[in-house]
A and B are shown apart, each in its own frame.
Chain A
Amino acid sequence: AQTVTQSQPEMSVQEAETVTLSCTYDTSENNYYLFWYKQPPSRQMILVIRQEAYKQQNATENRFSVNFQKAAKSFSLKISDSQLGDTAMYFCALMEYGNKLVFGAGTILRVKS
Chain B
Amino acid sequence: SAVISQKPSRDICQRGTSLTIQCQVDSQVTMMFWYRQQPGQSLTLIATANQGSEATYESGFVIDKFPISRPNLTFSTLTVSNMSPEDSSIYLCSVGRPGQAVADTQYFGPGTRLTVL
Whether the Cβ atoms of A104 and B108 lie closer than 8 Å is no
Q: Are B58 and A97 in contact (CB under 8 A)?
A: no
Q: Assess the A47–B58 pair: CB atoms within 8 A.
A: no
Chain B residues 98 to 115 lying within 8 A of chain A, measured CB to CB, are 102-108, 110-111, 113
Question: A47 to B105, Cβ gap below 8 A?
Answer: yes
A interface with B by C-beta (< 8 Å): 33, 35, 37, 42-47, 50, 52, 91, 95, 97-98, 100-101, 103-106
Enumerate chain B residues within 8 angstroms of A37, measured Cβ to Cβ: 108
Quick one: which of A35, A45, A52 contacts B92, CB cutoff 8 A? Answer: A45
Knowing A91-B43, A100-B33, A100-B58 touch, does A43 contact B104 (C-beta < 8 A)?
no
- Chain B residues 60-111 with CB under 8 Å of chain A are 90, 92, 94, 102-108, 110-111
- The contact of A43 among B44, B48, B58, B90, by CB within 8 Å, is B90
Contacts A100-B33, A104-B42; A45 near B104 (Cβ below 8 A): no
B contact residues around A52 at 8 Å (CB): 104
A sample of 13 more A-B contacts (CB under 8 A), given A100-B48, A101-B45, A101-B106, is: A35-B105, A43-B90, A43-B110, A44-B108, A44-B111, A45-B43, A45-B92, A45-B111, A91-B43, A95-B106, A97-B104, A100-B58, A101-B35
A45 to B6, CA, bound (A): 13
Number of B interface residues in the complex (CB < 8 A): 25
Check if A43 sits within 8 Å of B106, measured CB to CB. no
Across-interface contacts of A95 in B (CB, < 8 A): 103-104, 106
Residues of B within 8 A of A45 (CB): 43, 92, 94, 108, 111
Contact B102 A33 (CB under 8 A): no
Chain B residues with CB under 8 Å of A98's CB are 31, 102-104
